[in-house]
Chains A and B, each alone.
Chain A
Amino acid sequence: QQQVKQSPQSLIVQKGGISIINCAYENTAFDYFPWYQQFPGKGPALLIAIRPDVSEKKEGRFTISFNKSAKQFSLHIMDSQPGDSATYFCAASSNDYKLSFGAGTTVTVRA
């Protein structure tokens, strides 16, 4: 049973556009929500993370929006660049070391 559902599976965006990836969860005990970025031939790397006590967190062009009542969170990539082309994974955890990952979204930024 998949605990974190991620969509879309893939998206294509023009350079300078906004990429939006959505994740939904059911387990209300989840209290830590990281996003990982993975380039081809590399392992995932932490991009940005949020706790449910805030509704938004921004780091550079990357923003996480969190809706606790809807049990949804999303990643926005502003002014998308070709170097942002990668697979993005959302994840969630409930006060232990186990991360439940989404299935990933492959983002392609066209120049």
Chain B
Amino acid sequence: ETGVTQTPRHLVMGMTNKKSLKCEQHLGHNAMYWYKQSAKKPLELMFVYNFKEQTENNSVPSRFSPECPNSSHLFLHLHTLQPEDSALYLCASSQELLATDTQYFGPGTRLTVL
């Protein structure tokens, strides 16, 4: 596998469920990101990790909990979500934590909260 992969691609969950999104990058990058993409809105940066250390939590509600066990893997743990959390969740990685370093995105997980 190459690039950035995300699983699952689609997820439907109830408001009381607990689920996790997984991201894996095969590019040898040091920085990883979680974004939320809602229709007709700008991408929202949620979390940033650099060398496994969290460097950004963009005022994200605690019902979203990230985990980065190593530089290649990133998880987003979900619990007691709200219907307004339904969106496409994108993972990205870049070589270094610089804006001029190209961010490579995965295909996303389409999340629906019932």
Contact = CB atoms under 8 A, between A and B. Distances in A.
Interface of A: 2, 4, 9, 32, 34, 41-46, 49, 89, 93-104
A101 B42 contact: yes
A32 B99 contact: yes
Contacts, number: 54
Contact of B42 (A49, A93, A100): A100
A43 B98 contact: no
Interface in B82-114: 90, 92, 94, 97-108
A4 B43 CA distance: 11
A103 B102 CA distance: 19
Contacts of A34: 102
Contacts of A100: 42
B78 interface: no
24 contacts: A2-B42, A41-B107, A43-B4, A43-B90, A43-B106, A43-B107, A43-B108, A44-B105, A49-B100, A89-B42, A93-B99, A93-B100, A96-B98, A97-B48, A97-B94, A97-B97, A97-B101, A98-B99, A99-B43, A99-B99, A99-B103, A101-B42, A103-B40, A104-B40
Interface in B34-60: 40-43, 45, 48, 56
- Interface size range of chain B in the complex: 20 to 34
Please report whether the interface of chain A is mostly helix, strand, loop or mixed according to DSSP: loop
Which of A2, A99, A100 has the largest count of B CB atoms less than 10 A from its CB?
A99
Please report whether the interface of chain B is mostly helix, strand, loop or mixed according to DSSP: loop
Nearest to A9: B40
Interface in B5-48: 31, 40-43, 45, 48
Which of A46, A100, A101 has the largest count of B CB atoms less than 10 A from its CB?
A101
B34 to A, nearest CB: 12
Contact of A98 (B41, B45, B104, B106): B45
Contacts of A9: 40
Which of B41, B43, B102 has the largest count of A CB atoms less than 10 A from its CB?
B43
A97 B102 contact: no
B42 A97 contact: no
